[in-house]
Amino acid sequence: MEKIKIAIQKSGRLSEKSLDLLSECGINVSNGNRRLKTEARNFPLEILFLRDDDIPQYVEQGVADIGILGQNEMWEKEKDVTEIERLGFGSCRLSLAIPKDEVYTGLAYFGGKRIATSYPRILKKFFREKEIDVKIEELGGSVEIATGIGLADAIFDIVSTGSTLIMNGLKEAEAIVKSEATLIGNKNLSAAKTELLERLLFRIKAYKNGRGKKYVLLNAPNEVIPDIVRLLPGMRSPSILPLADGRWSSIHSVINGDDFWEIIDELKHAGAEGILVIPIEKMIL
């Protein structure tokens, strides 16, 4: 039986989360000793563990059929692959940063400056579009120390909390683009592999849809149902079931976890009782 091959990061920020995603999709991967590749036990999937920098090329060549990596790497490598689905983890931004005591005057500040980065293509494209000339110093890593050692006037790097910049005496001048982990695919998958990809994607979407959502059940006197329904948008609309005591009903709906406390207070205020909030594991729309 044909298998689909997925490349994920061998060891790094996206490794655990990529495996967690597969596990949320019901795919068990045994990789105690981190070999180069392994097979899922209960899905026709082979997993290749690679450096994230190499994933776009391997997917383009068909060594792997699909891969999980940061969009930043996908953009930088400019390989001929398809972006299939953003995955909602590994979020960060690519930013220009300068020594903290510099006065930042807007993008023109960078004209003629030396900027150190591991993302020269993204940076070059950005400044070309802005018609600003800069000198790009390409570095493999530790970009944040480049200004301190006099190699560059500014840096262009991944920022998440911003603490690395602060620790290196830098400040964020411009956030250029946001990035998150994404699923990419080879452009010429066989019909059998496309079908496997569709099955995997169905599960990924169910997981993504359920993430952060809560299922809410509550009881309310019939006369306040309209008020409560207004507070609970639900997927289509809330379900309303009569209770044994005919004057009361049970109302069920799905809400965003972030809205939870605010909505709960309003629901209580509107007359809801016995409110249950339950995490949602998967949601198929």
Q: Taking CB under 6 A as the rule, which mask of x and - marks residues 57-96 in contact with ligand PRT?
A: -------------x-xx----------------x-x----
Q: What tokens were used for 158?
A: 């991944």
Question: Taking CB under 6 A as the rule, does residue 12 contact ligand PRT?
Answer: yes
Question: With respect to Zn ion, which residue has the nearer C-beta, 158 or 254?
Answer: 158
Q: For 71-152, where are the E strands, in sequence order?
A: 82-86, 92-99, 114-117, 135-138
Gap between the Cα atoms of 189 and 185, Å rounded: 8
Gap between the Cα atoms of 268 and 110, Å rounded: 55
Q: What's the min distance (Å) between Cβ of 207 and ligand PRT?
A: 20
How much is the CA Rg of the chain, to the nearest whole Å?
Answer: 25
- Cβ burial of 205 (10 Å; 0-12, 13-18, 19+) is middle
Sheet strands side by side (includes 114-117): 135-138, 114-117, 154-159, 92-99, 170-179
Question: With respect to ligand PRT, which residue has the nearer C-beta, 5 or 193?
Answer: 5
Residue 158 binds what, of Zn ion, ligand PRT, none (CB under 5 to 8 Å, by partner type)? ligand PRT
Contact 212, 88 (CB under 8 A): no
Question: Taking CB under 5 A as the rule, does residue 54 contact Zn ion?
Answer: no
Nearest to 276 by CA among 211, 234, 215, 212: 215
From candidates 33, 42, 105, 163, binder to ligand PRT by CB under 6 A: 163
Among the residue ranges 21-29, 40-48, 50-58, 124-132, the one whose residues contact ligand PRT (CB under 6 A): 50-58
Gap between the Cα atoms of 75 and 85, Å rounded: 15
Question: Taking CB under 5 A as the rule, does residue 53 contact Zn ion?
Answer: yes
Question: Taking CB under 6 A as the rule, does residue 161 contact ligand PRT?
Answer: yes
Question: With respect to ligand PRT, which residue has the nearer C-beta, 180 or 227?
Answer: 180
Among the residue ranges 155-163, 193-201, 206-214, 225-233, the one whose residues contact ligand PRT (CB under 6 A): 155-163
State the amino acid at position 50 in one-letter form: L
Gap between the Cα atoms of 121 and 7, Å rounded: 23
Question: Taking CB under 5 A as the rule, does residue 102 contact Zn ion?
Answer: no
Question: Taking CB under 6 A as the rule, does residue 205 contact ligand PRT?
Answer: no
Interface residues toward ligand PRT, by CB under 6 A: 9, 12-14, 51-53, 70, 72-73, 90, 92, 144, 157-164, 179
Interface residues toward Zn ion, by CB under 5 A: 52-53
